[in-house]
């Protein structure tokens, strides 16, 4: 009797374990590509609330089929015509040309928004602002929503530590300031469901302007 119960229990444990393995085998390790563009370090500036960790290449586990769903998608922005470059540069899959391939937006708090055209499970966001001169961008705030007007949203990154973007009503963010680097900024979005991605910035420590070279959104 005891032996029979033991075997049933063992069978249940094996099926649970093999179920876990099946789920695990459906996941793949994704390694977003770094830019191969040269990144020049300008004169060092004192950056408040600075992230002192050395940048590393992003990698994360996500279900098989997860890919950059922002590629080729329509980008809108807080200003209709950017001073330099086209908004389509942000999702064109090119991030190696920091001279001709970037978008420059007006000074002050500006946003860009990507319409993914449908709701996805979003696992990660990668951002490259203009990495020329090794810049640090201010008030980098990244949000997800299913409403194109962002009436409801989730903030997944916010390094506005001193609340200079107070007009958004978010309060100070707990993210750190960071130097642009070849790997880009990785944001873990933990399978959040959304159709729209909005990214704010408020100039940088090198100039008053806002820039983007590429944004990637990994989802399925
Ligand atoms: Ca690009
Ligand atoms: Ca700030």
Ligand closest in space to the Cα of 47: 2
Average pLDDT over residues 34-54: 84
Residues 97-121: tens digit of each pLDDT: 877 899 999 999 999 999 999 999 9
Q: What is the mean pLDDT of the chain?
A: 89
Closest ligand, as measured to the CA of 101 = 1
Q: Please give the pLDDT value at position 5.
A: 57
The arithmetic mean of pLDDT across residues 39-53, rounded, is 81
Report the pLDDT value the prediction gives residue 43, as an integer from 0 to 100: 64
pLDDT band at 52 (very low <50, low <70, confident <90, very high): confident
Ligand closest to the CA atom of residue 126: 1
Q: Which has more pLDDT, 201 or 20? A: 201
Q: What is the CA radius of gyration of the chain?
A: 21
Q: How far is the CA of 93 from the centre of ligand 1 (A)?
A: 5
> Which ligand gives the minimal distance to the CA of 212?
1
Percentage of the chain lying above the pLDDT 70 cut: 87
pLDDT at 11: 47
Position 38 scores a pLDDT of 81
Residue 164 alpha carbon to ligand 2 centre in Å: 4
Q: What number of other Cβ atoms are within 10 A of residue 66's Cβ?
A: 21
Distance 175 CA to ligand 1 centre (A): 25
In the reported structure, the alpha carbon of residue 166 is separated from the centroid of ligand 2 by a whole-number distance in angstroms of 9
Report CA(77)–ligand 1 centroid distance (Å): 15
- What does the DSSP assignment read for the chain? -HHHHHHHHHHHHHHHHHHHHHHHHTEEEE-PPPP-S-----S----TTB--SPP----EEEETT-EETTTT--EEESSSS-SBS-GGGGGSS--S-TTTS-EEE-SSSEEEEEEEEEEEEEEEEEEE---TT--BBSS-EEEEESSTT-SS-EEEEE--TT-TTGGG------PPB-B--TT-EEEEEEEEEEEEEEEEE--BSS-S-EEESEEEEEE-
Ligand 2 center–CA 220 separation, angstroms: 32
Give me the pLDDT at residue 25, please.
62
- Dist. CA 114 → ligand 1 center (Å): 13
Q: What is the pLDDT of residue 12?
A: 46
Ligand nearest to the CA of 109: 2
- What separation in Å is there between the alpha carbon of 165 and the centre of ligand 2? 6
- Domains of the chain, each with CATH number or no CATH: 28-219 (2.60.120.260)
- Per-residue confidence (pLDDT) for residue 97, from 0 to 100: 83
Mean pLDDT of the region 59-63: 98
Band the pLDDT of 20: cuts 50, 70, 90: very low
CA distance 207 to 216: 24
Residue 11: both structure tokens together = 């069978």
Find the 96 Cα to ligand 2 centroid distance in Å: 28
For residues 25 and 153, which has the higher predicted lDDT (pLDDT)?
153
Q: How many residues does the chain have?
A: 220
Does residue 39 surpass a pLDDT of 90? no
Q: How confident is the model at residue 83 (pLDDT cuts 50, 70, 90)?
A: confident
């Amino acid at each position: 009797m005891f032996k029979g119960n033991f075997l049933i229990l063992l069978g249940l444990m094996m099926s649970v374990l093999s179920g876990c393995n099946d789920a695990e085998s459906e996941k793949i390790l994704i390694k977003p590509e770094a830019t191969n563009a040269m990144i020049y370090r300008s004169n060092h500036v004192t950056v408040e609330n600075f992230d002192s960790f050395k940048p590393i290449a992003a990698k994360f586990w996500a279900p098989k089929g997860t890919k950059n769903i922002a590629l080729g998608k329509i980008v809108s922005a807080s200003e209709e015509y950017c001073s330099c470059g086209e908004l389509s540069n942000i999702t064109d899959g090119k991030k190696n040309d920091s001279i001709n391939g970037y978008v420059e937006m007006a000074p002050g708090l500006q946003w860009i928004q990507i319409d993914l055209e449908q709701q996805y499970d979003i696992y990660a966001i990668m951002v490259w602002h203009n990495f020329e001169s090794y810049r640090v961008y201010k008030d980098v705030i990244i949000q997800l929503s299913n409403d194109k007007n962002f009436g409801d949203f989730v903030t997944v990154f916010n390094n506005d530590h001193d609340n200079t973007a107070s007009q958004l009503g978010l309060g100070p963010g707990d993210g750190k300031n960071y130097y642009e680097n070849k790997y880009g900024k990785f944001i873990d979005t933990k399978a959040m469901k959304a159709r729209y991605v909005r990214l704010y910035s408020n100039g940088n420590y090198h100039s008053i302007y806002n820039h983007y070279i590429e944004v990637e959104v990994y989802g399925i």
